[in-house]
Structure 1
Amino acid sequence: METIKSSGDNDKRINLVILSEGYQTSELDQFITDVTSLSDDMFSQSPFLEYADYFNVYAIKVPSNESGADHPATATDVTEPATPMTTKDTYFNATFDAFNYHRLLYYGIDYADAATAEAKIHSVLSDNFPTYDQALILVNTNVYGGSGGEFPMASTSANDIAIHELGHSLFDLKDEYYPGDALAAEAINMTQETDPTLVKWKNWIGLNGIGIYPYGTSGVASTWNRPHQNCKMRYLGVPFCSVCKEGMIEKIHSLVSPIDSYTPISNTVSNPSFPLDFHLNLIKPAPDPTILESSWSLNADDNFATNVDDVSISESDLNVGSNNLTAVITDNTTLLRIDNHETLHVYTVTWTIDHSSLGVKDIESEINNLSIVMYPNPANTIANFKIESERGTNLKVDIMSLDGKKVKTVPMSNHETQQVDISNLSEGIYMANFYANNILVASKKLVKQ
C-alpha cells in the first residue's frame, strides 16, 4: 500500500482506497502515476476541492499476470467488435461489455461471473486496509469505460466516470439521466414531488439553475424529477449541481468531525496555573477557512468568544465550583443553504473546570457530535424536531419570536422525533434555538404559515 494523499489520522478522515487492476508488476509505478492523476483531478472539482483536507487517499498495488481488461465483444448496444476482442489474465477479471453494454467495465460479465472477483476485492481490502471508507478499482486500459456499485471501476482514461460513480457509492446520489424504472427512488437528487415549496431541494429553487425537471415526457420517467439539467450525475465533464454538492457535504459531515484535535484533554494539565489556555485544531475547508465558525461559551456567557481557535481564561472568569467552557463548531459554507436546510451538523468540545479558592483542581474534556433536524419548514400546524447527540443529556428546543420572547420550550429525547403543535402561533418568522446541556448549539429560522 502506498500513500497518495495524507490529510490526517485515518480515524479522523474519509479514507479512499484505490486498487490496481490489469497492471503487471513492472507497471505498478505507472499505477501510482495514474492514481495520483485521478486524485489530483478529483480534488480540483467542487466540493472535493473545498473539503480536500477531509480525505486520505491510498493505493494498493495488486499485480496482474497480464495488462489491460477483457473485451469479449458481446455487447448489444454497439456493432461488435467495437474494439478488438481479447481476453486478459487480470487479478479482478476486469471485463468490458458487462451486462451487454460495451462501455460497462466491471469485474465480470454479469453478477454471477463477478462473485469470485468480488470476494478477492474484499480479501485484499481486509488484508491491507480493513477500515477503508470507500474503495475504487483503476483499470490499466485507455479504452473508455467504467461502472458503479459497491466498488466503482474505471479505466485510466475515465477519471470523470470514477468521480461520477463515487457520487453514487460514497454519497448516495442518483443518476440525473433516467436510470430505469427499477432504479428510480426518492433520494437527495431525485423525487416525485413537484411542489416547489415542498420539494427536498426547495432551498435552492431558482439559484444556480436549480428547478424541478422531469426525467422524461411520458411513462414512469415523467413522474420523477431531478434538480438540474446539466449536472455531473447526468453528464460527464461538467460540475456537480448545487443539490448534489450539498448532499455530498452532508455526507462528509456525517463521517468526519471538523474537530481534528483539541487541548487540553482530560487530566493532562498538572497543577494548572492562570491564565488557562484552550486550543482547537480544526479541519478547515478551502479556500476560505473562516466559513468554519466557532462560538465559545463560559458558564452563562454564550458570547465568551467567537471565531477563534484559542482562548485564555483568567481566574476572575471562573466561579467557585464547576465551570463549563464549550466551543461549538458549525460549517457556514455557501454550498449549504443552512436556514432552509432540514439537517444541521454541530460539533462541540466541553471542558469542565473544577475551581476552588485554592486554584484549579482539574480539567476534564468531552467531545460531542450532534445532528439537528427540523421539518417541514415552512410549517403550518406541526413542526418536527429531532436531535441526535453522541452524549444526549438535557436536550431542548426554545422557539423564540424575533423580538426575543420565548413562545415555547420543547424538552427533547435523544434520537426521537418530537412533534410540536405550532397552530396557535401567529404567522411569521421565529427562531428555533437548540440546546445541549444548557449550551446553545444551533439556531435555525422557523417559518410559520
Structure 2
Amino acid sequence: MNRTPKAALAAVALLCLTACGGGSSAPGPVPLTEASLSAPVEALQVSGDPANRINLVLLGDGYREADQAKLTQDARAWLAAFRQTAPFSNYANYFNIKLVHLVSAEDGAANGMHGLGTPRATVLGATFQNANPAGQAPDYRLLVVDNARALAVALARAPECTRVLVLVNDTNYGGSGGTIPVFSANPASCAIALHEFGHAFGGLADEYACGDTSPLPASLEAFPNVTAQPGSIKWAAWINPGTPLPTPAFCPDLGLFEGAYYHDTGVFRPRPSCRMRCLTDTFCEVCSEAIVRSIYNQVRPVDTLTADGGTLTLTRPVPLPDTFRIAWTVDGEAAGTGDRLTLPAGTHQVSARVVDATPLVRTGADRLADVRTWTSGGASVQADVLPARHRVVQVIRTPAGFQVAGETIVDLPLPAEPDTPAWTVSAVDPEGRMLFRAGIEDPTLLRGEFQHAEATDRIQGSRLDGSRPVSFLVRLPVIEADHLEVAANPGPRHPTPD
C-alpha cells in the first residue's frame, strides 16, 4: 500500500499522530513455529457470546518468557485507557478481548530501545522504520510487524477474532495503523492505538494536514469525517443553525473547518481538533457517531429472547450509560418496558422493539434497533429486523481468474504489469443494492469490513512483500451477496488511508 502522504508526516509534533503506516509489514518473513501457533491465551475481557461481540485479539511481540507478566500488565494498561476513552468507554461491553502470550527470543523491536541498526529476534518481526522520505531527517517512530504472521497467530489461537492489535515490548514511542494496528509499550503509545481504533471501527480518515498537494482519491467522500464538498455536508445534523460555513478557526462550534486528510486546503473537518487530528484530544461528535454506528454493524442490540413459562426475557449488551429503550407489545397493544415481560394466559403475538437511544448518534440510528417477535404457545422466536452480521471469505487468484471457496466468481486474465493494477471488489445484495465497492492497490493479503452503503470503500489492505497478489480476505454480511466481483484493471496509483 502506498504510504506517500503519510511519509511526510513523521516530523510533526510527538503527540499529534504522524506516520500511521497503512498496514506496513516488517521485512524478512520468518516461519512460525508450532509453539507460536499454540501460544497461551489469556481472556482480558469476556462480555458475551462471540457470535454477537467484537472479538479483539491482542498479540504481544518482543516479550521473552521472563516478560510474560509484563505483557499482561502492559495489555491491561491499554485496556484501562480503552475503557476510559469515549465512545469506546460507552461500548466496552460490546468487546471480547483476548491476549495471546507469544514468546520471543529477544525483547524489544529492531531499531528500538536497543539502538538504531540493532535487529531483534521476535515472533512477529517488530521493527521501527524510518517514515520520512530521502532528504529529510529520519524519524523512526513507524513501528510495524509482519501482518501475515500476526494474522496467522490470531486466527490459530482465536478463530472468532474480528480485530487484531499488536503490542510491542519496547520503551521507544511509536506505532502504526492499517490492517493491524501496532503500538509500543511506551505509555504514550496507547494513544496511537486508540486513534487507530477510529480508523478500524469508524472508518474514519485522518484529519491532520501536512501540506500534501496530491490529487484527492475518489473514495474521499466515503469517510464520514472529512469532505471536499462544502456544499453538501454529511454531518449537517450536528451543525447548529447560524454557524458560518466554512467555519473560521476561532469558532468554538462544530462546523466546517478547512484542512484535513493531509491537505491544508480543499478538505474540511467537523471541529478544530479531534483525536483523528491530534492524539491528546477527544473524538468529536461526528467521529464518535461513526464509531458507534460501525460497532452496531457487528453487534446486534439483542443477544437472545427466551421464554420460561409465562415470562419472556431479553439478554443484550449493555452500554454505559444504559441508553436502551425497550417497548413490548402483546397482540399489538403496548405491554411494558424492561428486559422481562410476563404474559397473560392464552395464545398471543408478542413483539419487543429494542433500540439504543444514545445521543451519540443522530443519523443512521436504524442500525441501533432490533425487533423480536414471539407467539406464545410454543412458536420459536423470530428476528424481524437484524443489522447485518459478518462472515469472512477468502478471494484467491488463480491462472483462470478469481475464486471464493472454490467457486469461480469472475474469469479475468492476470494483469500484465504487477506494479500497476488497481483492484476493485464489489458486492451486490439479492435486491440489487450495492453492499460495497472498493478500490484496493495490489494486495497480497487483505482484511476488510463491510460497513454500509453510506461508507462504501472501507476495505483495508496491505502489501506484505514484493510478490504479486495471491489472496485476500474480505468481510461480507451474513446475507448472501447475489453478485460478488473482483476485477483488476490498469490504473494510476493513489495514496490509500490506513
- Give CA deviations for 1:43-77 in whole Å, capped at 9, x if unaligned: 1110111111111111001111111011189xxxx
Q: Please tell me the residue identity of whatever aligns with 1:192.
A: A
Question: Which of 369, 378, 389 does residue 346 from structure 1 map onto?
Answer: 369
- CA offset at residue 352 of structure 1? 1.7
Q: Which residue of 1 aligns with 2:268?
A: 225
Correspondence 1:148 to 2:191: no
C-alpha change, 1:332 and 1:216, in structure 2 (3 Å) is closer
Tell me how far apart the structure 1 counterparts of residues 199 and 289 of structure 2 sit (CA, whole Å).
14
Q: 1:96 aligns with which of 128, 131, 152?
A: 128
Report the counterpart of residue 306 of structure 2 in structure 1. 263
Matched residue SS, 1:160 = helix
Q: Distance in 1 between matches of 2:82 and 2:154?
A: 22
CA RMSD of aligned residues (A): 2.8
Specify every segment of 5 or more residues in structure 2 that has no aligned partner in the other structure, as ranges. Answer: 1-40, 133-138, 244-251, 389-428, 434-498
> Which residue does the alignment assign to 2:317?
283
Residue 128, structure 1, aligned to residue 157, structure 2? yes
- Verify the 8 A CA contact 2:371 2:384 in the aligned structure 1: yes
Determine the C-alpha separation between the residues in 2 that align with 1:216 and 1:84.
Answer: 33
**How far apart are the structure 2 equivalents of 1:257 and 1:332?**
14
Residue aligned with 1:57, SS:
strand
* Greater relative CO (CA pairs within 8 A, separation 6+): 2
CA distance in 1, matches of 2:112, 2:381: 60
Report the Cα distance in structure 2 between the residues aligned to 1:183 and 1:105, rounded to whole angstroms: 26
Change (3 A) 1:165 1:183: farther
Classify 1:258/1:216 alpha carbon distance in 2 versus 1 (closer, same or farther; 3 Å): closer
**1:98/1:105 contact within 8 Å kept:** no
After superposition, where does 1:35-434 map in structure 2 within 5 Å?
Answer: 35-71=75-111, 84-100=116-132, 101-107=139-145, 117-157=146-186, 158-178=189-209, 180=212, 181=214, 185-186=220-221, 187-195=223-231, 198-206=232-240, 209-215=253-259, 221-264=264-307, 276-287=310-321, 289=322, 291-301=323-333, 303-305=334-336, 307-315=337-345, 323-337=348-362, 341=364, 343-353=366-376, 360=377, 362-370=378-386
Between the aligned partners of 1:125 and 1:98, the Cα distance in structure 2 is 27
Q: Secondary structure at the match of 2:276?
A: coil
Q: TM-score, normalised by structure 1?
A: 0.68
- The residue type equivalent to 1:169 in the other structure is A
Question: Does the aligned pair in 1 maintain the 2:90–2:319 contact within 8 Å?
Answer: yes
What TM-score do the two structures reach when normalised by structure 2? 0.62
Distance 1:139 1:45 in 2: 21
Q: Is the 8 A contact 2:301 2:369 kept in 1?
A: no
Unaligned runs of 5+ residues in structure 1 are 74-80, 108-116, 354-359, 373-412, 418-449
CA contact (8 A) 2:201 2:295 kept: no
Task: Report if aligned partners of 2:209, 2:263 keep a CA contact under 8 Å in 1.
Answer: no
The question of whether the paired residues in 2 share the 8 Å contact of 1:98 and 1:106 is answered with no
Per the alignment, do residues 170 and 334 of structure 1 end up closer, same or farther by CA in structure 2, a change over 3 Å counting? Answer: closer
Q: Distance in 2 between matches of 1:9 and 1:342?
A: 24
Q: 1:228·1:241 contact (CA, 8 Å) conserved in 2?
A: yes
TM-aligned CA deviation for residue 99 of structure 1: 3.8
Amino acid corresponding to residue 320 of structure 2 in structure 1 = A
Aligned counterparts of 1:414 and 1:296: Cα–Cα separation in 2: 31
Q: Indicate conservation of the 8 Å contact 1:296/1:326, yes or no.
A: yes
1:87, 1:172 → 2: CA distance?
Answer: 34
- After superposition, the Cα gap between the structure-2 partners of 1:182 and 1:126, relative to the gap in structure 1 and judged at 3 Å, is farther
**Equivalent position SS for 2:265:** helix
Number of residue pairs aligned between Structure 1 and Structure 2: 330
Write the letter of the residue equivalent to 1:308.
G
Name the amino acid aligned to 2:373.
T
- Matches of 1:331 and 1:230, distance apart in 2: 27
Map 1:27-38 onto structure 2 (within 5 A): 27-38=67-78
In structure 2, do the counterparts of structure 1 residues 40 and 371 end up closer, same or farther at CA, with 3 Å as the change threshold?
Answer: same
Q: Deviations over 1:143-174 (max 9, x none)?
A: 10000011111011100001111211233111
- Aligned counterparts of 1:143 and 1:25: Cα–Cα separation in 2: 21
Q: What residue identity is the alignment partner of 1:167?
A: G
1:244 & 1:216 partners in 2: Cα distance? Answer: 14
Deviation at 1:175, TM superposition (A): 0.5
CA distance in 2, matches of 1:285, 1:47: 10
Contact 2:206 2:260 in 1 (8 A): no
Instruction: Pick closer, same or farther for the CA change 1:13–1:341 going to 2, 3 Å.
Output: closer
